[in-house]
Amino acid sequence: MKYLARICYDGSKFQGFQRLNNGLGVQNELERVLSLIEGKEVVVKGAGRTDAGVHALDQCIHFSLSVDIDMKKLKYAMNRLLNPFIAVKNIVSVSSEFHARHDVVCKKYVYKIYLGEKNPFYSLYSFAYYQDFDLDLANACCKLFVGVHDFRNFVAGERDDYHSEIFSFQILKKDDFYYFEIVGKSFYRYMVRKLVGAVLDVASHKANLDDVRDALNCLSARGFSTVPANGLYLTSVSYDKV
């Protein structure tokens, strides 16, 4: 039987989602627990990788078990056995063809920036930002990224194809926080952190909108800031088939 589970985790306690040979990834912990329940090795596939320090409110995984177990009991067993910084929110059965990554329709990430007085309790869960911030310029920059683009100047590492589509990119303010909400189909390594970094560069007058346009059109290889991982959250993953 194949299952889809929605999970959340505190990314500050892990070295990213991906399984590691020397270190603790979220995938390591999930596979450890499911292998205990199954009585043999279980492989977990995620909707995507999150980097060390990145949090998830709604990461999705799939896995298969041969044991016959009620889904409520499976959720209970997993939550009892898992590291306290990971929680299973929901489990449903899916078809044998379902794939947590390949079948994604869209994902939403939120980057959280704190603009208030220094607060040590926010340090692992938001980016404290104390520079100039022009909201009008920031919003104008966000609009440049919406649509299908070649994002080679806004990712890390080598790829065969850098194209992706951003469906929406907006900034919401609540109290002393700005929330950068980005919805898209595929996100590559450091992509969200580099997009937010570019917006902050423009908002603080370290770069201008033409610099971003040129980088998007591959007329320039100019680099932009990469914001820290601690402010980034994967907040939802959507599928047509589930």
Task: Give the residue numbers marked as catalytic.
Answer: 51
Q: How far apart are CA 218 and CA 195, in angstroms?
A: 15
With 0-12 / 13-18 / 19 or more C-beta atoms within 10 angstroms meaning exposed / middle / buried, residue 125 is middle
Q: What angle in degrees, to the nearest 10, is found between the helix axes of 191-203 and 135-145? A: 140
DSSP state, residue 18:
S
Backbone angles phi, psi at 140, to 5 degrees: -65, -40
3-state DSSP assignment of residue 196:
helix
Q: Are 150 and 218 in contact (CB under 8 A)?
A: yes
Report which secondary-structure segment, H or E, holds 235.
strand 232-239
The HSE-up count of residue 236 (CA atoms within 13 Å, CB side) is: 9
Q: How far apart are CA 71 and CA 75, in angstroms?
A: 6
